[in-house]
Amino acid sequence: MEITPREMEHMNDNPLYNTIGIRIYEVKDGHARSRLRPNKDVCWPFNQPHGGILATLMDTTMAWSVLTRIERGYNCVTINLDIQYINTPKGDSFTCLARTTHRANRIAYTRADILDEKENLLATAQGVFRIIREML
Amino acid sequence: MEITPREMEHMNDNPLYNTIGIRIYEVKDGHARSRLRPNKDVCWPFNQPHGGILATLMDTTMAWSVLTRIERGYNCVTINLDIQYINTPKGDSFTCLARTTHRANRIAYTRADILDEKENLLATAQGVFRIIREML
Amino acid sequence: MEITPREMEHMNDNPLYNTIGIRIYEVKDGHARSRLRPNKDVCWPFNQPHGGILATLMDTTMAWSVLTRIERGYNCVTINLDIQYINTPKGDSFTCLARTTHRANRIAYTRADILDEKENLLATAQGVFRIIREML
Amino acid sequence: MEITPREMEHMNDNPLYNTIGIRIYEVKDGHARSRLRPNKDVCWPFNQPHGGILATLMDTTMAWSVLTRIERGYNCVTINLDIQYINTPKGDSFTCLARTTHRANRIAYTRADILDEKENLLATAQGVFRIIREML
């Protein structure tokens, strides 16, 4: 499905993203891009966003990349998420790029990277999602 | 190192745990146990704790299990985290059990499970940690 | 389905297992056990079974644990396999224990360990399988 | 280190690669490329190369990409390997492309893809390697 700017605006305004500091800002054709400006509260113990926060960022951005490839009335849930933590996150703003590499029936395969402002690779991930009928 | 109750009390009082709703309550001999009573703000989009929040819970509980096996003056950082999401989280309280399966020099291997109040298995994970000298 | 000793005998006699040195010898109630006596040819570069051979052992043993939980006429394929290599394999004989931790509709979740003859943990894995109708 | 064509020729002539049908044919600057023409014996149960054989291909090709980045006298061992199986392998020849995404001290991070002759993506992987002093 295509996600309209208004839908994205609406989707970005949720408690999880606001609590953490996530904003999705490009979702199209199996790709999604997001930005993390982590709230201080989720930067512990090293004054950097916690690894689980980076996992949240990658998981949600991957899910958006999947949503661009599925029909309205469906949603997706994560089956599996594999993360490699490569570099210590430094700075105030981080970009996550995710894409769906393949969709086979009700299973979607994805990848994601997190980069800092100097384009250093901080983390990479692979994720598998199951496509489900949305509960109304 | 052995972690005293006072240290644990102190460690539990941090912004990340308070924001999410994590509390560590048993850390000994390569094992750690924690509880998640997720704040509403991290329950999105399905009114359940987000998968990334479960990742945060497992990652941090694994790290505690590693800390029981290392000397004072050292800390650990996650190299790799693999998560399988098995069942939809239901309820208000979730338990995470983590243990260090092996330590080889500067590398520690861990596993974790998340269970709900009815002992259903919600997620499992494997994680590898690197042991580092603590920055003062 | 229940796997009869005769079926197991038949299944064990296949080129892959013979080439590598795998033998499955207990398959029941979501559990499977196998033994690897690696042929010299798959021990390279360190005169130990290659990591990919250990992956083959875990993957196939996990699949057997899944097969005990599904109906006749169905089979399973691996979606995702996560491996931690913990200790260097030493010796001539290795045991793999696998179990299905959960089955949700067409998805099965599994875990496996490889141990040497002294019960040292050499590798652990998590795997997700998709259950498919068998092609005749 | 740079790997000379003669060294590569020598390295390709080992029992594991011959048994499976692997050949490495480009190793440079953190990248490696290999080809799998699987022997019939490792194609079971579906007359396709077993998932563990694809794991072997990716693991060994990743290791070669790491070797281009390390000094002579050192080698590497796999700590962790995460695989997503995306499409059923069809055909007689498969290409694996691996690259080292980062090296931090004694840890190297890698990625790999397997493609069939029609450029379909069959599997992706992430791997972490530890760099060790070679035993003489």
pTM: 0.96
For chain C, what is the radius of gyration of the CA atoms?
Answer: 14
Q: A interface toward B at CB cutoff 8 Å?
A: 14-19, 39-45, 50-53, 55-60, 77-85, 88
Per-residue pLDDT of D67-91, as tens digits, reads 999 988 999 999 999 999 999 999 9
Maximum Cα interatomic distance, chain D, rounded to a whole number of Å: 43
Nearest-CA distance A80 → chain B (Å):
5
Nearest to D100 by CA among B131, A80, A86: A86
Q: D interface toward C at CB cutoff 8 Å?
A: 14-19, 39-45, 50-53, 55-60, 77-85, 88
Q: A interface toward C at CB cutoff 8 Å?
A: 79-80, 82, 107, 128, 130
pLDDT at B136 over 60: no
Nearest-CA distance D96 → chain C (Å):
14
Nearest chain A residue to D79, by CA: A84
In this complex, do B79 and D79 lie within 8 Å of one another by their Cβ atoms?
yes
Q: Give the confidence band of B46 by pLDDT, cuts at 50, 70, 90.
A: confident
pLDDT at D118 over 80: yes
Nearest chain B residue to C129, by CA: B84
Residue of B86, B107, B121 for testing the chain C interface, max C β-carbons within 10 Å: B86
Per-residue pLDDT of B63-115, as tens digits, reads 999 999 998 899 999 999 999 999 999 999 999 999 999 998 899 999 999 99
Q: C interface toward D at CB cutoff 8 Å?
A: 14-19, 39-45, 50-53, 55-60, 77-85, 88
Cβ burial of C32 (10 Å; 0-12, 13-18, 19+) is buried
Residue of B130, B131, B132, B133 for testing the chain D interface, max D β-carbons within 10 Å: B130
Q: Give the confidence band of D101 by pLDDT, cuts at 50, 70, 90.
A: very high
Per-residue pLDDT of C22-45, as tens digits, reads 999 999 999 999 999 999 999 988
Of residues A34 and B25, which shows the higher confidence score? Answer: A34
Check if the beta carbon of residue D119 is closer than 8 Å to that of residue D86: no
In this complex, do A79 and C79 lie within 8 Å of one another by their Cβ atoms?
yes
Separation in Å, CA B42 to CA A20, A33, A90, D35? 9, 21, 24, 46
**SS3 label, residue A111:** strand
Per-residue pLDDT of C52-101, as tens digits, reads 999 999 999 999 999 999 988 999 999 999 999 999 999 999 999 999 99
Per-residue pLDDT of D21-35, as tens digits, reads 999 999 999 999 999
Sheet holding C31-36, edge to edge: C22-28, C31-36, C94-104, C107-115, C121-133, C74-85, D74-85, D121-133, D107-115, D94-104, D31-36, D22-28
Residue of B58, B79, B84, B86 for testing the chain C interface, max C β-carbons within 10 Å: B84
What's the mean per-residue pLDDT of chain D? 94
Nearest to A82 by CA among D76, C81, D115, B44: C81
Helix axes B51-67, A51-67, angle to 10 degrees: 150
- Which residue in A82, A87, A101 is closest to D126 by CB distance? A82
Residues of D whose CB is below 8 A from C43: 15-16
